[in-house]
Chains A and B, each alone.
Chain A
Amino acid sequence: MTELLLEGRDLKKHYPVTKGLLQRTIGWVRAIDGISFTIEQGKTLSLVGESGAGKTTVAKAVLLLERLTSGHILFEGNDVYNFSKSDLKTRYRPSVQSVQQNPWSSMNPRMRVRDIIAEPLVVNTTKTKQETRQRVLELLDQVGLAPNQADYYPHEFSGGQRQRIAVARALALNPRLVVLDEPVSALDVSIRAQIMNLLKDLQEQYNLSYLVIAHNLATVRFMSHSVAIMYLGQIVEYGDAEDVFTQPLHPYTRALMSASLLTLPEDEDQSISPIILSGEMPSPLNPPPGCRFHTRCAEAMEICSKEEPELRTVGNHQVRCHVHEDPGVHPESS
């Protein structure tokens, strides 16, 4: 079993909703409500779900941009919140970097590409100017950009080229985990393929692990080793990517796949009839009781609106759904 790089245990993040003169909290938005996952060195875990699922909140928690209400993030087995300031600066922060969604806003428009890529080195290492400059040229080459482009400003590049610069910046400190928040969704189709191939090559070359946030299932299948389908702050299906995509168990996963599949009009009748969900995404302020998906689920049973299902192993991966529980037997805890 390759060594575990990062583990999330029962992560929770609740935002208080306040009302009245004294800012009394009258309710909680449970953005993420008990998320657990593991990332192995050199592997990619994808968090998939629609808006409001809480995938970006998980990413922010891992990047320490937001503090969790409860739960633990373990880096190489020890809890990040117990790290001293210097531990964070020397061990955690340099090994966890990120590439963000929008190439037009993830770079300071007033900085040359050379300084953008070098900033992580300038802030965290004591390399000399010459060593840093050399490292920047190396990184540019790795992401397929020419050395002379180091002196240009971000606005002189296309979307695809900017994402390459963002990847170079993320690699500057030889990180062990890169959080990719919707890395290609703002790019054109043909450019997307270039960046996805690049990310995969770099993973193989440097044994990098990725935590990918995405809503496009096809992109996820291409990138991921394991996948977690999220709905309204909870994981509803979690496991090895091939298992989840070949035998989707949870009704929501199946609906997501049906909505993303390329079914041509005339093939529609042979393949599984498309699942069209009714209703709208409920508000995270007061999620439906019991199973949070029951209000939109075609297979909802009596129990679904009362008891919240457990995330349990069924076959080769985990699912949170009463339909997949043996009737009568009390579901053993996973």
Chain B
Amino acid sequence: MSEVVLRVEDLRTSFFTRVGEFKAVDGVSFYVKEGETFGLVGESACGKSVTALSLLRLLPEPAGKIVGGKITLDGIDLMTLDKKEMREIRGKKISMILQDPMTSLNPVYTVGDQIGEAVRLHQQLHDNMVEDEVISALRLLRIPAPEQRVHDYPFQMSGGMRQRVVGSIAMSCRPRLLIADEPTTALDATIQAQYIALFKDIQKQTGVAIIFITHDFGVVANICHRVAVMYAGSIVETAPTSIIFKAPIHPYTSALIHSVPHLDRRDDRLYSIEGQPPSLLNLPPGCRFAPRCPEVMDICHKEQPPTVEISDGHSVSCWRVK
């Protein structure tokens, strides 16, 4: 049983603004094992990206604050670290890939500089050693002709290639945990398939644990081993990927799966969930999905459902599940 790299317990993150407190993440718990890809799935403004930023403690000052919960990486509680110690974790133990390759790289520095910077910072290598590390990071992401590409500027590369460079930066210091925040959303279908296949291979080679954030179920099916479905700041269901697709229990999860059009058959009408996601400013009491849930009961409007462990690795928070 590969050991747990990251464990998050009851994480709460809020944004304190003029108009009130936005509870972006409201009690999220999960764990990620070595060599495992854990999916964080949900619609926009459900709190998945904020969860990622909280792990790196990079929330926008002064509004964003972690108000509760524990984050342990290889046994170290990240909340107890000071700014300097946390900086040593970032880029070395935990690294991250952002969504839009067109803006993730600094336009005025070469690709080689930007990768070398991370290597030099975290590995204290001699200059000529840094060059080799940079080339090997580019080669890890299978970027053709790395020796020339090192001197290119980001604008000379396609979107897909830039996202690989961002991947090289992330993997250059062999992190324990890689957070990928919608890395393939801005890419075309075939390039996206290439990128996913590449990262599955990298995971096999390096055993890095991956948290994959996305709203696209096709990507989830292709790369994730276990998935957590988020809605309005909390996790409604966590399960191995095949169970999520074949036997989802939480009404929101099954509704989402049904509303995705299938390529392998022609549907006449798509199942669609009525209404809108709630505003994070004044969250309704009780279960957040209650106002839109087809199987809602009285209690759902009053109290938040507890998280029930159904089988190994499959937990749901819904009053219908005892």
Most buried by A among B194, B266, B272, B274: B272
The distance from the CB of A157 to the nearest CB of chain B, in whole angstroms, is 10
Most buried by B among A189, A191, A241: A189
Q: Which of A183-225 contact B (CB under 8 A)?
A: 188-194, 196-197, 200, 215-219, 221-222
B256 touching A189, Cβ below 8 Å: yes
A260 touching B189, Cβ below 8 Å: yes
A218 touching B263, Cβ below 8 Å: yes
In the complex, per-residue mask of B130-161: 1 if CB is within 8 Å of any chain A CB, else 0: 00000000000000000000000000001011
Q: Is B85 an interface residue (CB 8 A)?
A: no
The distance from the CB of A79 to the nearest CB of chain B, in whole angstroms, is 34
Enumerate chain B residues within 8 angstroms of A258, measured Cβ to Cβ: 193
Q: Is A18 an interface residue (CB 8 A)?
A: no
B270 touching A263, Cβ below 8 Å: no
A280 touching B269, Cβ below 8 Å: no
Q: Identify the A interface with B (CB < 8 A).
A: 50-51, 158, 160, 188-194, 196-197, 200, 215-219, 221-222, 241-242, 245, 255-266, 274, 276-278, 280-281
B158 touching A215, Cβ below 8 Å: no
Enumerate chain B residues within 8 angstroms of A193, measured Cβ to Cβ: 259, 261, 270-273
Q: Is B82 an interface residue (CB 8 A)?
A: no
Known interface pairs A193-B273, A221-B263, A242-B266; 13 further A-B residue pairs with C-beta atoms within 8 A, sorted by A's residue number: A50-B190, A51-B188, A194-B274, A215-B189, A222-B267, A245-B263, A260-B189, A260-B218, A263-B221, A274-B193, A277-B190, A277-B194, A281-B158
Q: Is B242 an interface residue (CB 8 A)?
A: yes
With beta carbons under 8 angstroms apart, the residue of B189, B215, B241, B264 that contacts A259 is B189
The distance from the CB of B36 to the nearest CB of chain A, in whole angstroms, is 12
State A259–B263 Cα separation when bound (angstroms). 11
- Contacts A190-B273, A215-B188, A280-B160 given; does A196 touch B245 at CB 8 Å: no
A264 touching B161, Cβ below 8 Å: no
Enumerate chain A residues within 8 angstroms of B161, measured Cβ to Cβ: 280
The distance from the CB of B215 to the nearest CB of chain A, in whole angstroms, is 6
Q: Is B260 an interface residue (CB 8 A)?
A: yes
Q: Is B2 an interface residue (CB 8 A)?
A: no
The distance from the CB of B110 to the nearest CB of chain A, in whole angstroms, is 20
State A158–B259 Cα separation when bound (angstroms). 19
In the complex, per-residue mask of B205-242: 1 if CB is within 8 Å of any chain A CB, else 0: 00000000001011001100100000000000000011
Closest 5 CB pairs of A and B: A193-B272, A259-B193, A50-B188, A193-B270, A193-B259
- Contacts A262-B245, A264-B242, A280-B160 given; does A222 touch B266 at CB 8 Å: yes
A264 touching B221, Cβ below 8 Å: yes
State A83–B36 Cα separation when bound (angstroms). 62
State A221–B265 Cα separation when bound (angstroms). 8
State A274–B190 Cα separation when bound (angstroms). 11
Enumerate chain B residues within 8 angstroms of A190, measured Cβ to Cβ: 43, 255-256, 259, 272-273
Enumerate chain B residues within 8 angstroms of A215, measured Cβ to Cβ: 188-189
Enumerate chain B residues within 8 angstroms of A158, measured Cβ to Cβ: 276
Q: Is B192 an interface residue (CB 8 A)?
A: yes
- Contacts A274-B193, A277-B194 given; does A189 touch B263 at CB 8 Å: no
Q: Is B302 an interface residue (CB 8 A)?
A: no
Enumerate chain B residues within 8 angstroms of A50, measured Cβ to Cβ: 188-191
With beta carbons under 8 angstroms apart, the residue of A196, A242, A262, A277 that contacts B262 is A262
The distance from the CB of A331 to the nearest CB of chain B, in whole angstroms, is 27
- Contacts A222-B261, A260-B218 given; does A266 touch B242 at CB 8 Å: yes
- Contacts A242-B266, A262-B262, A263-B222 given; does A276 touch B193 at CB 8 Å: yes
Can you give 13 contacting A-B residue pairs, CB < 8 Å? A191-B272, A193-B271, A216-B189, A217-B189, A221-B262, A222-B270, A242-B266, A256-B189, A259-B189, A276-B193, A276-B194, A277-B190, A281-B191
A277 touching B193, Cβ below 8 Å: yes
A276 touching B270, Cβ below 8 Å: no
Enumerate chain A residues within 8 angstroms of B225, measured Cβ to Cβ: 265
The distance from the CB of A236 to the nearest CB of chain B, in whole angstroms, is 13
State A192–B194 Cα separation when bound (angstroms). 26
- Contacts A218-B262, A277-B194 given; does A197 touch B158 at CB 8 Å: no
Enumerate chain A residues within 8 angstroms of B222, measured Cβ to Cβ: 263, 265
State A258–B215 Cα separation when bound (angstroms). 19
B272 touching A197, Cβ below 8 Å: yes
State A161–B277 Cα separation when bound (angstroms). 13
State A277–B270 Cα separation when bound (angstroms). 31
The distance from the CB of A247 to the nearest CB of chain B, in whole angstroms, is 13
